[in-house]
Structures are given as C-alpha cells and as structure tokens.
C-alpha cells in the first residue's frame, strides 16, 4: 500500500510542478505562498507548521521566495527575535494566477471520481494521518 501512496504522491507533485513552471515556483513554494495568501503576516514557525515542513526547509523556501520578490520579512513588534512573513503585491498577483492552475491540475488528478469519492478519500487520508501521529507519539 505504501508503494501506491508514494507513487501517486510523486506523480501528483510532478504533474502540479509542470503546471506551476510558468510561475517560476515549486510546489513547496506554492504551499507556503498559499498559506500567506490566506493569512498574511504569520511567523516562520507557524508557516512551518501549516505546511508540515521543518524549520530549515521552511527557511530555504522563504529565502527562495524572498529572492524572487514574492514575500518580505518584517520584524515582529511583540517579539524582536521573530519575523512576520508577508506576501508582496507581486506574490499576490502570482497566486491569483497560479491558484486556478493548481486547482485545474488537481481536478485532472481526480478526474473520474465524484465528490463523494473524493471526500471519502480525504477522510481515509485524515484517518491514516491521525493514526501515524498517534503511534509516533507513543
């Protein structure tokens, strides 16, 4: 079963990566930008949690997005050791164009499945994720 899940995940990431190529962002960068697009001005720790990435990986993603001018870091007023990450106007424009493309790519992945089947698949994945989390903490 693990083989099938891993294989599908790799193929899905590859498919979405090809679709995002015109925007010069990776799927990891898209995930981070999407979180900032939804909730602008969050700290790096919260962003890492929301994207299920560790701190070093999140730093690497943010550095790349910053070099592209898609995000900016501002010092947190309440905690000068922390930075708040914000999406720039350029980043917002990229997301406004990239989100529909990513949605279409996902529709292609799940083509032939009805909404009930997709919801069922989602519930199974959430259940398995909760099992992993529970057994990892034991």
What is the chain's mean pLDDT, rounded? Answer: 93
Query: Tokens 């015109």 map to which residue?
Result: 22
pLDDT grade for 81, boundaries at 50, 70 and 90:
confident
Integer Cα distance of 21 and 101 in angstroms: 11
Integer Cα distance of 95 and 102 in angstroms: 10
**What is the average per-residue pLDDT within 1-19?**
95
Q: What is the pTM of this model?
A: 0.87
pLDDT grade for 26, boundaries at 50, 70 and 90:
very high
Q: For the chain, give percent helix, strand, coil, nearest 5.
A: 70, 10, 20
pLDDT digit string (tens) for 127-138?
Answer: 999 999 999 976
**What is the average per-residue pLDDT within 20-45?**
95
CATH fold of 2-112, please? Arc Repressor Mutant, subunit A (1.10.10)
The residue extents of the domains of the chain are 2-112
């Amino acid at each position: 079963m693990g083989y099938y899940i891993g294989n599908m995940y790799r193929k899905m990431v590859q498919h979405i990566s090809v679709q995002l190529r015109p925007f010069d962002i990776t799927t990891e960068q898209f995930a981070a930008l999407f979180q900032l697009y939804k909730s602008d001005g969050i700290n790096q720790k919260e962003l890492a949690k929301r994207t299920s990435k560790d701190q070093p990986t999140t730093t690497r993603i943010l550095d790349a997005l910053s070099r592209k001018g898609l995000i900016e870091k501002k010092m947190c007023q309440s905690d000068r050791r922390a930075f708040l990450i914000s999406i720039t106007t350029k980043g917002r424009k990229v997301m406004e164009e990239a989100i529909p493309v990513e949605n279409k790519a996902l529709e292609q992945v799940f083509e032939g499945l009805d909404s009930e089947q997709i919801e069922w698949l989602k519930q199974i994945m959430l259940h398995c994720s909760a099992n992993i989390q529970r057994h990892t903490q034991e």
